[in-house]
């Protein structure tokens, strides 16, 4: 690989929280904001589904296993966010 190619690849942009789970020192520090925003928006979408189920049970009610799975998903996403931030701080 020539030096010009190497210089172009000094910044790695990530497109999802999962991408941040692969430790790469070339990750653009600014992209951590995008990673966390994406993860927060995912969590907000799950909370919206759960809130709508509570507020409007007359029209549609989620089965208990679905609610349980959504709560499990939220827990996993929060754990993922904590892991990303812990690893980010440790390697910066």
Give residue limits of the domains in the chain.
28-90
Q: Span 82-90, mean pLDDT?
A: 82
Query: Looking at residue 63, what is its pLDDT?
Result: 92
Nearest Cα residue to 39 out of 78, 69, 13: 78
83 vs 78: CA distance, rounded Å: 9
What is the average pLDDT across 46-74?
90
**Tokens of residue 6, six digits:** 């190497």
More confident residue, 51 or 87: 51
- The residue count of the chain comes to 92
CA dihedral of residues 62, 66, 68, 70 (deg, nearest 10): -100
Q: Say yes or no to pLDDT of 25 above 50.
A: yes
pLDDT computed for residue 8 by the predictor: 44
- Residue for token digits 């941040």? 20
Asked if pLDDT for residue 92 goes beyond 90, the answer is no
Alpha helices, DSSP H, located in the chain: 3-8, 31-55, 64-90
Choose the weakest-confidence range: 4-8, 31-35, 54-58, 78-82.
Answer: 4-8
Q: Which residue has the higher pLDDT, 20 or 1?
A: 20
């Amino acid at each position: 690989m020539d030096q010009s190619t190497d210089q172009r690849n000094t910044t790695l942009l990530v497109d999802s929280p999962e991408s941040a789970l692969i430790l790469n020192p070339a990750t653009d520090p600014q992209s951590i904001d995008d990673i966390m925003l994406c993860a927060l928006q995912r969590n907000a979408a799950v909370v919206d589904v759960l809130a709508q189920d509570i507020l409007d049970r007359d029209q549609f009610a989620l089965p208990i296993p679905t609610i349980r799975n959504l709560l499990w998903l939220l827990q996993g996403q929060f754990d993922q966010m904590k892991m990303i931030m812990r690893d980010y701080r440790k390697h910066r």
